[in-house]
Amino acid sequence: MTWEAARKKCHSEQSELASIVNPYIQSFLLLQVLKYKEPVWIGLNSNMTGEHYKWISNQKLVYTDWGPEEPKQKIACVYLHPDGHWKTGNCSETFFTVCEQHHGKIPTEPPQAPGKCPESKQNPISWVPFRAHCYKFYTGWFDRPTAYFKCSQLGSTLASIEDLAELNFLVEHTQQNTRWNYWIGLIRNIEGEWLWEDKTEVDFVNWKADEPTLEPEDFSYYSNICAYMKADNGEWYKGRCRYSNGFICKRHKIIEETTKSPTESTEQEDSSASARGRVIKVVFPVFFILILIGAGTALYIVYRRRFRQQQTTGSFDNTLYHDNRILIQNNDSEVHVEDKGM
């Protein structure tokens, strides 16, 4: 069936074209595909979502398994190929179909995050806000490693582009100076898959027609292939990372902390004081016990010394004593006897 016919078939069975939101579902469906050895339509498409690849169930695209050089088309439907990857195709093509019945509430896109952009006191180029992010546009001649390094110094990455609205925002600013093209954060890994550096899922593309094509010489230079954006129309091209272009940095907005109320501050101070009191209560008995142990040890040592002294000089059991007489020995070994009065 075509993609649209497949969707209608799923609806007739109170279901929807399947969404693959984690590797477990991917593995399960791949087993079915391998069983029949036929590709199957899934619910991912850009045909009905404004050139933005999105699940027809409106679930957030949090997991992908695109094939090499995919997604290639701006407007297409997606199928799961027997080789295990997702591929884009003309929605009028005919494939097998996989439907799913979802139970419970389907998670949707999170709301836009509030915040503000950093102030650029020393840098003349200011951050430009758009939705949940801030952007800097640099013109000049920079190879991609240099562009990446400069963005990282600012706590940002080369820009990812999530949908058509974001692309149009970027083009509004790059059209002001079409002398340069601009590096973006799209790179190709050793498996030939295009990825955003900031870990954004690749669910929107704007490649120029016939881009990106896989050329024979590319096989030995995967790590040197990067993507850049044309300033005048926003189309994407692949090129050697050593080429010179301008670049666009992107970072999250700064979320301001809410001001604490006086009641909250007082409660926290009381809590801190209480915690300090508990610490003192615990530490004081331990310190007191240590003092007692030290004092006891000192008394024991003094007692032992006196006891030994008495043994050697003044004990009645000493052999130097006999009745009431004391035997005294001088240096000349002469012995005298004198009476000891009681």
Stretch among 55-69, 71-85, 98-112, 254-268 having the lowest mean pLDDT: 254-268
CA separation for the pair 19, 34 (Å, rounded)? 18
Return the higher-pLDDT residue of 340 and 83: 83
Return the higher-pLDDT residue of 102 and 266: 102
pLDDT at 263 over 70: no
> Average pLDDT in the 316-329 region?
41
CA separation for the pair 204, 45 (Å, rounded)? 10
Taking CA atoms, 61 is separated from 26, 86, 108, 204, 274, in Å, by 13, 13, 10, 11, 48
One-letter amino acid identity for 216?
P
Residue 12 φ/ψ, nearest 5 degrees: -65, -20
Q: Please name the residue that has the structure tokens 């695109």.
A: 66
pLDDT at 1 over 90: yes
Stretch among 18-22, 26-30, 195-199, 308-312 having the lowest mean pLDDT: 308-312
Asked if the peptide bond before residue 212 counts as cis, ω within 30 degrees of 0, the response is yes
* Cβ contact 121:40 at 8 Å: no
Residue 110 confidence (pLDDT): 52
Residue 111 confidence (pLDDT): 53
Give the DSSP letter string of 15-65. Answer: -EE----SHHHHHHHHHHHHHHT--EEEEEESTTTTS--EETT--------
Q: Which percentage of the chain shows pLDDT scores above 70?
A: 69
Would the CA dihedral through 20, 23, 26, 28 be positive or negative? negative
Residue 4 confidence (pLDDT): 95
CB-side neighbour CA atoms (13 Å) of 15: 14
Return the higher-pLDDT residue of 204 and 331: 204
CA separation for the pair 278, 104 (Å, rounded)? 48
Report residue 60's pLDDT band, with 50, 70 and 90 as the boundaries: confident
Residue 256 confidence (pLDDT): 78
Give me Rg for the CA atoms of the chain.
Answer: 41
pLDDT at 325 over 50: no
* Cβ contact 46:163 at 8 Å: no
Report residue 326's pLDDT band, with 50, 70 and 90 as the boundaries: very low
Q: Is 51 exposed, middle or buried (0-12, 13-18, 19+ CB in 10 A)?
A: middle
List, in order of start, the domains of the chain with CATH numbers. 3-100 (3.10.100.10), 128-252 (3.10.100.10)
pLDDT at 279 over 50: no
Residue 305 confidence (pLDDT): 66
Nearest to 238 by CA among 250, 230, 246, 248: 230
Query: pLDDT by residue (tens digit) across 109-164?
Result: 555 568 889 987 767 788 988 989 999 999 999 999 999 999 999 999 999 999 88
pLDDT at 12 over 90: yes
Return the higher-pLDDT residue of 267 and 102: 102
